[in-house]
Structures are given as C-alpha cells and as structure tokens.
C-alpha cells in the first residue's frame, strides 16, 4: 500500500509525505486479498491499462473535473 501511495504522490507532483497511521477500522485490502482472477475466468476479462497509466488518466480526469491544473 505504501508503494501505491508513493506512486500517486509522484504522479501528482505532490510534495506530501506518505505517513502510515493506524487503520480506523478492520477493513484491510491485504487481508481481503483482492483478486481479478474470477473476472478473468468468468468474463474472459483482461486489464487493458497498466496501473501507472490508469492512475495518470484518473488524476488528469479528476483535475479536469475539479478545475485544477497539472502541477
């Protein structure tokens, strides 16, 4: 999770520090272990966009929706 946060900080050009804090509730993705295997098997689905590219597109879309410019 830290790596994902650091990637988002880098892609947004933020100077924010990634800080680990105690989780406020018990929902933990590492415990849930999200897996796209079922989508692959049942729907014959494959991701078409790499994580970093998807994050870039999402950041660009959110900036546009919020009227923000790239940093």
**With pLDDT > 90 as the criterion, what percentage of the chain qualifies?**
68
Quickly list DSSP for 36-49. -HHHHHHH-----S
> What's residue 29's pLDDT?
65
Residue 3 DSSP one-character state? H
Q: What is the mean pLDDT of residues 30-35?
A: 71
* pLDDT score of 15 more than 80: yes
Whether the per-residue pLDDT at 30 is higher than 90: the answer is no
Q: Which residues contact residue 47 at a Cβ distance below 8 angstroms, ignoring those fewer than 6 apart?
A: 36
Return d(Cα 2, Cα 25) in angstroms, integer. Answer: 18
- pTM metric for this prediction: 0.70
Query: What is the residue extent of each domain of the chain?
Result: 2-66
At 35-68, the pLDDT tens digits run 899 999 999 999 999 999 999 999 999 999 999 8
């Amino acid at each position: 999770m830290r790596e994902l946060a650091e990637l988002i900080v880098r892609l947004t050009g933020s100077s924010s520090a990634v800080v680990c804090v105690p989780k406020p509730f018990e929902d933990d993705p590492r415990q849930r272990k999200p897996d796209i295997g079922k989508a692959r098997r049942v729907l014959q689905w494959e991701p078409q966009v790499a994580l970093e590219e998807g994050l870039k597109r999402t950041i660009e879309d959110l900036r546009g929706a919020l009227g923000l410019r790239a940093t």
